[in-house]
Structure 1
């Protein structure tokens, strides 16, 4: 396995004839500054720090580390909502978005790497003690659901939602959880850790639970805007190789531990 990882890293960087040493010296866009934004409520992967308009999390630290190694400065930009963050990257105002799922619509606007940074689970949050049946997507037709604007839950769910679901989209995960708590919704669709952090924050652990059946388990990425000057094959190859390297060295596992512990303290 170590040999195959090494081969992958070598090939992905060498495929364009540009080494890491070359990237350190060659001219790069915007005076070697790359702009990054992300989901404001998706701990431990990325979230807004309390009382600061700054983003932190595993994904942010990984990108800072990777770009620092080729002498590129990262400018981390907080955007108030997930929907707006996606739009800013789509338009090319910001270069990188973390940590979206890949779907058919998004690949029209963002260049996704070959390998996700993390795997994630999309789940349903429901009221404890309330009868709720879900074995297939069609079971959700009779319920009122909520989720945040522009969040994707995999192609199958997204397509089903367009014609068959009573699903209201809100600006923030916290709004969604509050809708569930006061009875304005029967379920919330959200990422497992993102939703859990809000449930803990609002001290609703005794009244809200996670339904056992998952909607999807899929990868989370750090794609580059197709309109960004940083949309270059050598940068994509470099990020792919760094993700593999950080996995191989156990760096990502250490960061996961660090930020899960921080998340638990905060929430």
Structure 2
């Protein structure tokens, strides 16, 4: 299966860094299945792509730096690795008070509309308080914004919540009736539903919250001084339409390998 072009080949100037020797390699953590922000190619599990991945890759190239992505580490460990400096940078995350305190939080590269995805249409979820007495699921270590987290932390008895390690299993839990809903971004859920022909099976709630997606550095990383340079480049990418193009490329990549799940997609979903 031919994978569509994933990169923008641009004539980008290389920025010289006086202190580049302190940071010859940036170790970047990322999600393996967060469309369109960061995910592994279905046809090549060693290849990461997505808006945050490609923007980070482009910025590193302009800065004359090597970069290495780790998108197979469980999300909870990724968060811990940012705290300890085991990784230098996180390409794509929501902001929380703890992350703002512990990390050098960068600017936004895109935003995510968080939804509840459910199978029983009669649930008709419009707001986070409609999740009361419903059993939900989310990825272990994932945060969905202060408003949503308040009700989906698992600490409130009327809002039971399960956590799993594998992001790809989330919607399977709903399909098999093991939970009432799962938390997932709107764009990610819609592509999944479209790919597998589940338009009449799975439904999305109204928007629970809209979260900016950040790219940040660990305070303990020798690369932390690069935050300002990356922020500057990301702003340029947004202003010049590069981020929009990366979003289109992410969609093409997502659809190029429909075998990402044991579910059988519609034939028309395969390019």
State how far apart, in whole Å, the 1-side matches of 2:32 and 2:22 are.
Answer: 25
State how far apart, in whole Å, the 2-side matches of 1:102 and 1:174 are.
Answer: 22
- Counterpart of 1:34 (choices 21, 26, 40) is 26
Q: TM-score, normalised by structure 1?
A: 0.82
Residue-by-residue CA offset, 1:234-260 (whole Å, 9 max, x unaligned):
x22211211111122221112111212
Answer yes or no: is the 8 Å Cα contact 1:36–1:97 preserved in 2.
yes
Report the structure, 1 or 2, having the larger helix content.
1
Answer yes or no: is the 8 Å Cα contact 1:33–1:74 preserved in 2.
yes
| Aligned residue number for residue 89 of structure 1 | 82
Structure 1's 204 and 80: CA in aligned 2 closer, same or farther, altered over 3 A? Answer: farther
| Aligned residue number for residue 16 of structure 1 | none
Answer yes or no: is the 8 Å Cα contact 2:29–2:91 preserved in 1.
yes
Q: Give the alignment's Cα RMSD to 1 decimal.
A: 2.2
Residue-by-residue CA offset, 1:157-212 (whole Å, 9 max, x unaligned):
2123343220111112322211111111111111123333444555534311212x
- Counterpart of 1:161 (choices 152, 163, 180) is 152
Q: Unaligned stretches of 5+ in structure 2?
A: 1-12, 259-271
| Aligned residue number for residue 190 of structure 1 | 184
| Aligned residue number for residue 141 of structure 1 | 132
Q: TM-score, normalised by structure 2?
A: 0.81
Answer yes or no: is the 8 Å Cα contact 2:41–2:257 preserved in 1.
no
Structure 1's 105 and 25: CA in aligned 2 closer, same or farther, altered over 3 A? Answer: closer
SS at match of 1:131: helix
- The answer to whether structure 1 residue 60 and structure 2 residue 70 are counterparts is no
Answer yes or no: is the 8 Å Cα contact 1:177–1:199 preserved in 2.
no
- Counterpart of 1:255 (choices 243, 246, 256) is 246
Q: Unaligned stretches of 5+ in structure 1?
A: 1-19
State how far apart, in whole Å, the 2-side matches of 1:217 and 1:192 are.
Answer: 10
* Aligned residue pair count: 242
